[in-house]
Amino acid sequence: MTPLLKRYLETTSRRVEAVLETLLRPKAEEPAAIRRAMRYSLFAGGKRLRPSLVAAAAECCGSQASRVLKTGAALEMIHTYSLIHDDLPAMDDDDLRRGKPTNHKVFGEAVAILAGDGLLTLAFEAAAANARQCGLSGPATAELIRVIAVGAGTSGMVGGQVADLQAEKWRSRKSRGQAGRLLEYIHRHKTAALIVASLDAGVILAEGSSSRRRALRAYGEAIGLAFQIADDILDVVGDKKKLGKRGSDAKNQKLTHVSLYGLQRARTQAIALADAAHGHLRPFGPRAQMLHDLADYIVTRDR
Amino acid sequence: MTPLLKRYLETTSRRVEAVLETLLRPKAEEPAAIRRAMRYSLFAGGKRLRPSLVAAAAECCGSQASRVLKTGAALEMIHTYSLIHDDLPAMDDDDLRRGKPTNHKVFGEAVAILAGDGLLTLAFEAAAANARQCGLSGPATAELIRVIAVGAGTSGMVGGQVADLQAEKWRSRKSRGQAGRLLEYIHRHKTAALIVASLDAGVILAEGSSSRRRALRAYGEAIGLAFQIADDILDVVGDKKKLGKRGSDAKNQKLTHVSLYGLQRARTQAIALADAAHGHLRPFGPRAQMLHDLADYIVTRDR
């Protein structure tokens, strides 16, 4: 990780965590249990990648990171809700996440489901509040909500999760060609869609042009796919302790880039995607340095 | 049910179902399973109470029902998602809903959880699209999203669900006074909050005054509480076949108005709330007739 990227992620993390702290303040109107469960997963030490993408996209369009932190927090809440629901016994049935017991292991399944629901709902509230603070017009505010909903919903992340469930035990049911198409769908939706939405949200809040939206969406698609491939690779070769989970993909015999194409080809594909990502950043010049560094980091990280 | 109310609910149902049909069209970008699961619960024959409230509130402020149907559809999707998640084995563990097998019984738990997530997400997309169609300003668009999120989230419906879970086996753990306060909290949040949000959304879309917002919110609070009390009563005395479920509250020994106060006092409270609701409608004159009829219907309905 370059010093620039490291500093950027650390700064954004610190700032977005302060915003999350405010958004997740205990309220008299709420049962304490739900707030505790939401905070448990939200403050479990993620890299805050999505908030950093919102911030970097806004900066690429001449705005400031500090103006878009609430939407960064919204995207982080959506990411966190998806992890909570994904870990449930009915889904991936994971006991550990980032080295800690998963949400339902601590708070029970019912509260974990509702904590996810609460985070998803609060995310839209936060994004709408951010649009108001930025003085966005009616159509731009509606577009911000639309972009986040599409990235998170059945045409995006939720669709990817469903396809991922269906991919279990794929070896017995699919030809290699079918499996490849299914895998492409999963990667494009489960991870890339919300990354694309994060970048797009940053541009919308900064009132950037539609050509900038297109360029950063294409960049997001590329790093999103690369990220998921790298994740598949890490699940096989990563240091289990660093990763904080036990290679559950392999354990569950899941369809992954590695199980389908092998390690070497998966690595080659990830690097080609990082190259494509660099290309999409060309119009932004030196302002996009952090996003360049991020594309490289995604395919070389070890956890 | 008065002929006016019957006609209003039928007309709104027909119209909002046409809108839902469009919003829930199969898309190439989606796995078919998730769409099927979402449609299964969405088209299971609800009364479409929340869309009717959005429409009636907008009409009370001089707008037209046809202009707010997408937001009506959004509130109905949020209501439906809450039923799907509420029926899950980890929550109420219900096998039947409106006389049909519950979502997870048909599609499995994983897809049921994701179908709920998908409906909640799509709801915000639909509301934002409606705000754009109505030409709302930036702040009004943000306010629409905020009101829906607060009604659905941890300060509203989700908070009520959490409290409801905690109320199980209340007899052994709570004094009568504590139980009464918990019950009040549950009713105010689990049902009333989303009803209040529906009415408020209708006023916002119609660009009604803040005094109209306050009056209709107070009306919504009253009928929301009355609705929940009536539900508790129906769970005990309702015709089991008409109700389509098997008196699960009694079976689960849940904290309800009836279990705490007895049938007679519960009925008296519901009627007093309906009277209060009528009072809040006074400023609207004859335009609010449907809402008057609804307040009466809620406390006299038999299913």
Is the per-residue pLDDT at A237 higher than 90? Answer: no
Q: Give the pLDDT confidence of B223-258 residue by residue, as tens digits.
A: 999 998 998 898 888 755 555 555 566 555 678 888
| Contact status of A137 with chain B (Cβ, < 8 Å) | yes
Of the candidates A111, A128, A148, which has its C-beta nearest B146's C-beta?
A: A128
Is A142 in contact with B128 (Cβ distance < 8 A)? yes
pLDDT digits (tens, 9 = 90+) for B158-198: 999 999 888 775 555 567 788 888 888 998 999 999 999 99
Between chains, do B158 and A125 touch, taking CB under 8 Å as contact?
no
Residue indicated by tokens 């997870």:
B104
Give the pLDDT mean for B148-164. Answer: 95
Give pLDDT, residue B94: 95
Confidence of residue A172 (pLDDT cuts 50, 70, 90): low
Look at the block and give the residue holding tokens 């909002």.
Answer: B16
Which pLDDT does position A5 carry in this prediction?
97
Q: Which domain holds residue A156?
A: 3-300
pLDDT digit string, tens, across residues A33-85? 999 999 999 999 889 999 999 999 999 999 999 999 999 999 999 999 999 99
Mean per-residue pLDDT, B128-148: 98
Helix (H, G, I), strand (E, B) or coil at A160: helix
Quick check: A125 and B145 CB within 8 A?
A: yes
pLDDT at B241: 52
Owner of token pair 């939206």: A213
Residues B202-226 pLDDT 10s: 999 999 999 999 999 999 999 999 9
Whole-number Å distance between alpha carbons of B7 and A303:
60
Q: Does the CB of B26 have a partner CB in chain A at under 8 Å?
A: no
Considering only CB atoms, which chain B residues are within 8 Å of A25?
none
* Paired residues of A100 in beta bridges: A97
DSSP string, A58-90: HHHTT--GGGSHHHHHHHHHHHHHHHHHHHSTT
Q: Is A251 an interface residue toward B (CB < 8 Å)?
A: no
Q: Helix (H, G, I), strand (E, B), or coil: what is residue A47?
A: coil
pLDDT at B248: 60
**In residues, how long is chain A?**
303
Per-window interface: A 176-205 vs B, CB < 8 A: 189
Q: What angle (nearest 5°) sits at the alpha carbon of residue A83, between those of residues A22 and A173? A: 165
Across chain B, mean pLDDT equals: 92
Instruction: Please list the helix, strand and coil fractions of chain B in percent, rounded to the nearest 5, in that order.
Output: 75, 0, 20
Q: Does B30 touch chain A (CB under 8 A)?
A: yes
Please judge whether B142 and A163 are an interchain contact, meaning their C-beta atoms are less than 8 angstroms apart. no
A246, two tokens: 């036990």
Q: How many CB pairs under 8 A join A and B?
A: 182
Please give the C-alpha separations between residue B249 and each of A72, A229, A247, B191, in angstroms, as whole numbers.
Answer: 41, 47, 42, 16
Say which CATH number the domain at A62 has: 1.10.600.10
Query: CB distance A132–B116 less than 8 Å?
Result: no
pLDDT in tens, B72-88: 999 999 999 999 999 99
pLDDT band, residue A18 (cuts 50/70/90): very high
How far B232 CA sits from the closest chain A CA (Å)?
A: 22
Report whether pLDDT(B103) > 90.
Answer: yes
Q: What pLDDT score was predicted for residue B87?
A: 97
Contact B27 A111 (CB under 8 A): no
Per-residue burial over A267-280, b = 16 or more CB atoms within 10 Å of its CB, e = otherwise: bebbbebbebbbeb
Which residues on chain A are in Cβ contact (under 8 Å) with B26? none
Structure tokens that stand for A243 in this block: 């990763």
User: Does B220 lie at the interface with A, CB-CB under 8 angstroms?
Assistant: no
Residue B303 CA to residue B299 CA, distance in Å, equals 11
pLDDT in tens, A242-257: 555 555 665 556 788 8
Residues 6 or more apart from A34 whose CB is under 8 A from it? A111, A114, A115, A118, B154, B158, B159, B162
Number of domains in chain A: 1
Contacts of A26 in chain B (CB under 8 A): none
Summarised one tens digit per residue, pLDDT across range B127-137 is 999 999 999 99
- Quote ipTM for the complex: 0.94
What's residue A253's pLDDT? 65
pLDDT digits (tens, 9 = 90+) for B257-282: 888 889 999 999 999 999 999 999 99
Q: Does A192 have pLDDT greater than 70?
A: yes
CA distance A207 to A35: 34
A96 strand-pairing partners: A101
Rounded CA separation A141/B214 (Å): 25
Residue B73 tokens read as 């559809």
Say if residues B129 and B120 touch (Cβ distance below 8 Å). Answer: no
